[in-house]
């Protein structure tokens, strides 16, 4: 079975490193990390992820802007984008994320378990 | 009308006669008879005057004649005197005058031919007793004329006298025999005359005497002239006495002298009489009569009015004579005949004047009547003109009617007021213009006036053709002429303005009154002493009394004791200044409670008396509101603080979340690295994980407090939300044996809430309640719809309008309650009494934020009825 391709866009280096480690430890996922929002676009085109986790608040480009760009790209339009952010709470969106205003949010801090469950929810096994 | 008196004056101007007789039907006859009588009397008067005048004229005529006669008589006598003067001259010229010389002289002089009435003329010689005999002999022997001389000559009367004035020569001869030798000095009258002549040296006339030769007493006089010595100076009396030789005289029959003198004219009608002497009355004695022109005429009676008598005096030869003229009827007739032309003229003139007067009056009567009529017409026209000017320019409408009330004249103002033109008004037409509401009444009033004349004052409206209404006031008065009504005059005044003004005034007064009465601010009018004159309902309410009660107390009754001095000072100070305030104080209500007010006072003048008008504003609400406001301000500051903190927290939280996320991920990773055998390591990781989660919880709490972007609002039924919330905590309640009582009003209006947030709020509230209650206890949850002011009396408009409809959620517990010193701080962020139990202190501050975001209000207080807290949450119904 091919591994699902997961893209992580977040300016927090430590976090992305660990998340990548944890996800790849399951051997189910191929994880590409991008710490600069402005570069996420080209990285995604190149990596062609199955799911993207976007941080909202990034210094060089807002996650929402990145999302917009991605959606504008025909190759990335259908890729589910999960906003992974500290700005909301679990209460608001549930442990495995939830929709708020049409967008899917996942609240930090998040455990690996929660991540995996979220991925499963959106792109299956 | 005023001018009529002018006309009356002219028309009834009394004729002069009427002024005397008054005015009545019989006056003309009276005038005529009176005129007749007057004229008759006048005629009598005139005739008597004429008579007098005529007599006077006749008298004058007589006198004139008399004067002429006098002249004639005088001149006649002068002739005789001239003769004497001639003889004097003759004697003076001759050394001696002989008898024959004398005779020649006299004859040549023609004395007897030319001089009527001369009886004789004689030369008288003065003889003294000594020369008497010589003289007599001389004369006897004088043969100059008679050869024989005069042998019988002797001086007679016989006797011896001192001197003798003897007639020596005498002519005519016929007299000689008798007279020659007569001593005329022996006769008194003649003697006096002689002496007088001697003394005066001038011809002298004697008085009347009887001639010797006369048997009857026929009037005769003598004229004597003294003869002096030849060449003698006779300048003075002595010389004259000395020089006297003799006299020459003439003896005259005076009657005869003048008989010849009859003038041609109406001598016949005048009787002349000459008297010797000066008499100017009728009473002349015939003894002195010298001449009578009508000796046979009877003596006139003195009472005869047709007698005219005149006198004049005349001096002849030193003798005064009086000439009397008597004119009888004949004279009068003759004289008056001369006046006839004059009479005729006079009569003619009188008749002319009379006829002239009649003709004049007749002809001018008509003219005068016409003039009068013209004058009256003029006055009438003036009167008319005045009338028209007045009525045309009158600001009042004027309507004139005849006796039956039919309109005759309508002036322009009346037309304008009634909206009808002149023709439409005629007859009773103007009544048609009256407003229907007043029409009947006015018609009745009008008819009443016509029936019994009296002055009517009335008000009514005209409804004009153009639809406008005019209020008018009318005076209707009967027009009288000589006590009879011959018409009516109505003056009409437009009082619309006045009406409107009155209405406006009344409205204004009502308006003012209602302003006073209905002012939401208490108004108080009192006098300087504090007695209440007037209050409005608002004030009464403030002091907890009825308006009536207020009026019966003084202001001081409403002033609390402690404020009394201040209030009195205020009142005092109002004496000098006019306004005071605003100042805040308290008043005492009827029930004794104090009420906070703000007062403005000012002095008002009403009919010269000054009062104090105060506006009293109830500021209790405001005070509360101020409280609330202060609290709100505090809250605001708090919430500002909160939001600042929240923002900080949010920022911090966000920053912390990432490291926490890393740690968590790290723990996950490390968990994978640690085998199950290393229990301690596993435990460590577990502890770490727990810690992270706890930290995360705090962060979450912080983030919760942060300002979140939007509420997710949806129309919800609050009761359902509450039910959901209750369900969530049911288990905890049951666990503590707390019973939950629900009093949820059904059919509450739905309103928009963020359901999750509200659940959060409720959960928080419930949790707190549970925490305060021990075992048992009751949580009562109530919802209902109310007005803001009921739920939150001191809500200010910026928080919530007082009359806003709101849904009130009331949550009451039976717990410990909240200690009063904590009550003010419960909503403060980070304030918690449960820090030890993990309380972050953010719960209630977040709850309040959420409620405020919904534009609601939340309050926490202790229950009054029992121990426990009450939370009131209020949401406006949107």
Q: Which residues of chain A neighbour B660 with C-beta distances below 8 Å?
A: 108-109
Range with lowest mean pLDDT among B74-83, B434-443, B842-851: B842-851
pLDDT class for B14, splitting at 50, 70, 90? low
Model pTM above 0.90 = no
Q: Are A109 and B663 inside 8 Å of each other by CB?
A: yes
Q: Would an 8 Å CB–CB cutoff place B704 in contact with chain A?
A: yes
Contact A25 B672 (CB under 8 A): yes
Task: Return the structure tokens found at A39.
Answer: 């570069």
Does ipTM surpass 0.90 in this model? no
What pLDDT was estimated at residue B8?
64
* A91 lies within 8 A of chain B by CB: yes
Between CA A60 and CA B154 the distance in angstroms is 223
- Chain A residues near residue B846 by CB distance under 8 angstroms: none
- Mean pLDDT of all residues in B783-795: 77
Residue B633 has pLDDT above 80, yes or no: no
The C-alpha of B753 sits at a distance from chain A's nearest C-alpha, in angstroms, of 16
Q: Report domain extents, chain A.
A: 4-123
pLDDT at B1: 43
B632 pLDDT exceeds 80? no
Helix (H, G, I), strand (E, B) or coil at B774: coil
Minimal C-alpha gap between B778 and chain A (Å): 29
pLDDT at A64 over 90: no
Cα B650 off chain centre by: 99
A122 in contact with B at a CB cutoff of 8 Å?
Answer: no
DSSP one-letter code for B694: H
B670 touches chain A (CB under 8 A): no
Give me the phi and psi of B624, to 5 degrees please: -60, -45
Confidence of residue B146 (pLDDT cuts 50, 70, 90): confident
Interface residue B756 vs chain A (CB under 8 A): yes
Contact check, Cβ <8 Å, A25/B669: yes
| Cα B291 to Cα B293: distance, rounded to the nearest angstrom | 6
Mutate to test the interface with A, among B662, B670, B686, B842 (most CBs of A within 10 A): B662
Cβ–Cβ gap B700/A86 under 8 Å: no
**Per-residue pLDDT reduced to its tens digit, B153-182:** 888 888 888 888 888 888 887 777 777 888
Inter-chain residue contact B666 with A108, CB threshold 8 Å: no
What's the pLDDT tens digit per position in B527-580? 888 889 899 999 998 998 888 888 888 888 888 888 888 888 877 777 656 788
Taking an 8 Å cut-off on Cβ atoms, the answer to whether A109 and B664 are in contact is yes
Q: How far is A89 from chain B (nearest CA, A)?
A: 6
User: What is the band of A52 on the pLDDT scale with cuts at 50, 70, 90?
Assistant: very high
- Which DSSP helix (H) or strand (E) runs through B685? helix B679-705
Q: Which residue has the tokens 């007082």?
A: B802
The Cα–Cα gap between B128 and B144 comes to: 24
Give chain B's mean pLDDT: 81
Beta strands per DSSP E along B676-822:
714-716, 739-744, 751-753, 778-787, 805-812
Give the per-residue pLDDT at B2: 43
- What is residue A76's DSSP assignment? T
Contact A109 B666 (CB under 8 A): no
Closest Cα in chain A, distance from residue B693 (Å)? 9
- Taking alpha carbons only, the member of B783, B720, B801, B714 closest to residue B754 is B714
User: Which domains occur in chain B, in start order?
Assistant: 94-259 (3.30.450.350), 394-501 (3.30.450.20), 519-618 (3.30.450.20), 620-707 (1.10.287), 710-876 (3.30.565.10)
Q: Give the nearest chain A residue to B704 (CA atoms).
A: A89
pLDDT of residue B801: 63
Percent of the residues in chain B that have a pLDDT greater than 70, as a whole number: 87
Cβ–Cβ contact B323 with A under 8 A: no
CB under 8 A, 24+ apart: contacts of B653-657: B653/A86, B653/B699, B653/B700, B653/B702, B653/B703, B653/B706, B654/A57, B654/A86, B654/A87, B654/B703, B656/B695, B656/B699, B657/A86, B657/A108, B657/A109, B657/B696, B657/B699
Does pLDDT of B615 surpass 80?
Answer: yes
* Tens of pLDDT, residues A95-123: 667 776 677 888 888 888 888 988 998 88
The answer for A 12-41 residues in CB contact with B (under 8 A) is 12, 14-15, 18-19, 21-22, 25
For residues B675 and A124, is the Cβ–Cβ distance under 8 A? Answer: no
> First vs last Cα of chain B: how many Å apart?
84
CA angle centred on B214, ends B212 and B215, rounded to 5°: 115
Q: Which residues of chain A are within 8 Å of residue B659 when distances are taken between CB atoms?
A: 14
CB contact, 8 Å: A112 with chain B?
yes
Q: Tell whether A74 lies on the interface with B, counting CB pairs under 8 A.
A: no
Summarize the confidence of residues B743-752 as an average pLDDT: 87
Which residues in chain B have Cβ-Cβ distances shorter than 8 Å to A88?
A: 703
B35-44, B408-417, B822-831: range with lowest mean pLDDT: B822-831
The answer to whether the bond into A3 is cis (omega within 30° of 0) is no
Among B645, B69, B659, B541, smallest CA distance to B324 is for B69
Residue B488, pLDDT > 60, answer yes
Q: How far is A41 from chain B (nearest CA, A)?
A: 23
From the list A14, A21, A109, the residue facing B657 with the nearest CB is A109
Q: Which fold has domain A4-123?
A: Rossmann fold (3.40.50)
Å from B655 to nearest chain A CA?
Answer: 8
Select the highest-mean-pLDDT range: B202-216, B270-284, B760-774: B760-774
Tell me the average pLDDT across B575-600. Answer: 84
| Confidence at residue B836, expressed as pLDDT on a 0 to 100 scale | 45
* Residue A49 vs residue B512, higher pLDDT: A49
Which candidate from A92, A108, A113 shows the least CB-CB separation from B657?
A: A108
pLDDT band at B12 (very low <50, low <70, confident <90, very high): low
Q: Which of residues 684-703 of B touch A (CB under 8 A)?
A: 692, 696, 700, 703
pLDDT digit string, tens, across residues B660-716: 888 888 888 888 888 777 888 888 888 888 888 878 777 776 666 555 556 778 888
Q: Is B665 within 8 Å of A90 when comparing Cβ atoms?
A: no
Q: Which residues of B touch A109 (CB under 8 A)?
A: 657, 660-661, 663-665, 692, 696
The answer on pLDDT for A70 being more than 50 is yes
**Helices B329-393 and B3-11, packing angle to 10 deg:** 160
The pLDDT of residue A21 is: 87
Contacts with A9 from chain B: Cβ below 8 Å? none
Question: Which of B649, B654, B664 is the mutation pick for testing A, counting most A CBs within 10 A?
Answer: B664
CB contacts of B650 in chain A (<8 Å) are 87
Chain A residue numbers with beta carbons less than 8 Å from the beta carbon of B703 are: 87-89
Q: Which of B63-77, B506-520, B735-749, B829-843 has the lowest mean pLDDT?
A: B829-843
Question: B456 vs B57, B401, B478, CA distance in Å?
Answer: 82, 15, 9
Q: What is the spatial distance between Cα B365 and Cα B367, in angstroms, rounded to a whole number?
A: 5
The pLDDT value recorded for residue B782 is 92
């Amino acid at each position: 079975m091919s591994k699902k391709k997961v893209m992580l866009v977040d300016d927090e280096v430590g976090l992305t490193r660990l998340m990548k480690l944890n996800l790849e430890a399951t051997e189910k996922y191929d994880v590409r990390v991008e710490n600069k929002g402005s570069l996420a676009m080209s990285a995604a085109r190149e990596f062609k992820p199955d799911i993207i986790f976007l941080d909202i608040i990034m210094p060089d480009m807002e996650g929402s802007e990145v999302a917009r760009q991605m959606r504008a790209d025909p190759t990335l339009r259908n890729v589910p984008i999960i906003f992974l952010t500290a700005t909301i709470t679990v209460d608001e969106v549930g442990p495995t994320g939830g929709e708020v205003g049409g967008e899917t949010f996942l609240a930090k801090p998040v455990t690996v378990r929660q991540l995996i469950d979220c991925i499963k929810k959106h792109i299956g096994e | 009308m005023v001018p009529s008196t002018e006309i009356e004056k002219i028309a009834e101007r009394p004729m002069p006669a009427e002024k005397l007789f008054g005015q009545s039907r019989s006056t003309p006859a009276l005038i005529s008879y009176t005129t007749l009588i007057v004229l008759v009397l006048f005629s009598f008067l005139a005739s008597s005057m004429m008579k007098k005048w005529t007599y006077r004229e006749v008298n004058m005529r007589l006198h004139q004649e008399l004067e002429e006669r006098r002249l004639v008589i005088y001149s006649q006598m002068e002739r005789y005197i001239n003769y004497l003067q001639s003889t004097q001259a003759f004697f003076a010229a001759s050394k001696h005058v002989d008898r024959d010389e004398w005779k020649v002289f006299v004859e040549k002089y023609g004395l007897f031919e030319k001089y009527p009435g001369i009886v004789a003329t004689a030369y008288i010689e003065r003889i003294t007793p000594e020369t008497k005999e010589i003289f007599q002999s001389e004369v006897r022997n004088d043969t100059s004329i008679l050869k024989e001389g005069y042998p019988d000559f002797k001086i007679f009367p016989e006797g011896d006298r001192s001197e003798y004035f003897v007639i020596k020569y005498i002519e005519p001869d016929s007299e000689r025999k008798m007279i020659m030798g007569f001593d005329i000095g022996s006769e008194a009258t003649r003697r006096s005359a002689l002496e007088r002549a001697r003394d005066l040296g001038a011809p002298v006339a004697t008085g009347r005497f009887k001639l010797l030769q006369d048997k009857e007493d026929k009037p005769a006089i003598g004229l004597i002239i003294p003869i002096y010595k030849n060449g003698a100076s006779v300048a003075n009396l002595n010389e004259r006495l000395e020089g006297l030789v003799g006299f020459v005289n003439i003896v005259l029959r005076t009657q005869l002298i003048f008989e010849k003198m009859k003038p041609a004219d109406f001598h016949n009608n005048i009787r002349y009489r000459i008297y010797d002497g000066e008499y100017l009355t009728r009473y002349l004695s015939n003894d002195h009569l010298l001449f009578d022109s009508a000796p046979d005429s009877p003596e006139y009676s003195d009472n005869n009015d047709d007698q005219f008598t005149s006198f004049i005096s005349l001096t002849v030869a030193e003798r005064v004579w009086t000439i009397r003229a008597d004119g009888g009827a004949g004279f009068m007739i003759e004289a008056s005949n001369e006046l006839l032309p004059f009479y005729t003229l006079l009569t003619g003139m009188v008749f002319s004047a009379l006829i002239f007067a009649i003709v004049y009056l007749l002809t001018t009567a008509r003219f005068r009547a016409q003039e009068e009529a013209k004058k009256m017409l003029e006055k009438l026209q003036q009167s008319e003109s005045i009338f028209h000017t007045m009525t045309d320019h009158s600001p009042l409408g004027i309507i004139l009617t005849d006796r039956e009330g039919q309109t005759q004249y309508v002036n322009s103002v009346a037309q304008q007021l009634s909206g009808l033109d002149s023709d439409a008004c005629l007859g009773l037409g103007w009544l048609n213009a009256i407003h229907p509401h007043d029409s009947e009444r006015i018609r009745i009033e009008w008819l009443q006036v016509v029936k019994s004349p009296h002055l009517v004052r009335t008000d009514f409206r005209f409804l004009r053709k153009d639809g406008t209404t005019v209020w008018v006031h009318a005076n209707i008065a009967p027009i009288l002429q000589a006590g009879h009504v011959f018409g009516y005059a109505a003056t009409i005044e437009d009082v619309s303005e006045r009406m409107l003004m009155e209405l406006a005034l009344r409205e204004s007064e009502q308006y003012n009154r209602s302003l006073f009465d209905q002012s939401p601010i208490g108004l108080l009018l009192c006098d300087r002493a504090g007695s209440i004159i007037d209050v409005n309902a608002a004030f009464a309410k403030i002091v907890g009394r009825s308006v009536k009660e207020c009026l019966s107390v003084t202001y001081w009754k409403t002033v609390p004791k402690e404020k009394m001095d201040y209030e009195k000072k205020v009142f005092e100070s109002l004496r000098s200044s006019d306004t005071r305030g605003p100042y805040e104080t308290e008043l005492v209500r009827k029930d004794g409670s104090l009420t906070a007010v703000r007062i403005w006072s000012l002095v008002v003048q009403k009919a010269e008396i000054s009062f104090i008008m105060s506006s009293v504003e109830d500021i209790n609400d405001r005070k509360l509101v101020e409280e609330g406001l202060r609290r709100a301000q505090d809250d605001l500051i708090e919430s500002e603080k909160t939001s600042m903190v929240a923002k900080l927290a949010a920022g911090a939280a966000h920053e912390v979340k990432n490291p926490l996320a890393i740690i968590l991920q790290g723990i996950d990773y490390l968990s994978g690295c640690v085998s199950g055998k290393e229990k301690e390591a596993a435990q460590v990781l577990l502890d770490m994980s727990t810690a992270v989660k706890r930290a995360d919880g705090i962060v979450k709490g912080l983030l919760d407090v942060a300002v979140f972007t939007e509420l997710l609002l949806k129309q919800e039924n609050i009761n359902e939300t509450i039910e959901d919330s209750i369900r969530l905590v049911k288990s905890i309640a049951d666990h503590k044996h707390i019973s939950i009582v629900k009093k949820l009003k059904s059919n509450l209006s739905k309103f928009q809430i963020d359901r999750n947030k509200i659940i959060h709020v409720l959960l928080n509230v419930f949790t707190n309640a549970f925490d305060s209650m021990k075992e048992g206890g009751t949580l009562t949850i109530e919802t209902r719809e109310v007005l803001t002011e009921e739920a939150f009396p001191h809500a200010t408009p910026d928080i919530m309008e007082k009359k806003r409809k709101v849904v009130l959620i009331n949550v009451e517990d039976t717990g410990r309650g909240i200690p009063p010193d904590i009550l003010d701080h419960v909503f403060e962020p980070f304030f918690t009494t449960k820090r030890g139990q993990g309380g972050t202190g953010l719960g209630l501050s977040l709850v309040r934020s959420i409620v405020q975001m919904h534009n609601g209000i939340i309050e926490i207080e202790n229950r009054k009825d029992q121990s426990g807290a009450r939370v009131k949450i209020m949401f406006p119904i949107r």
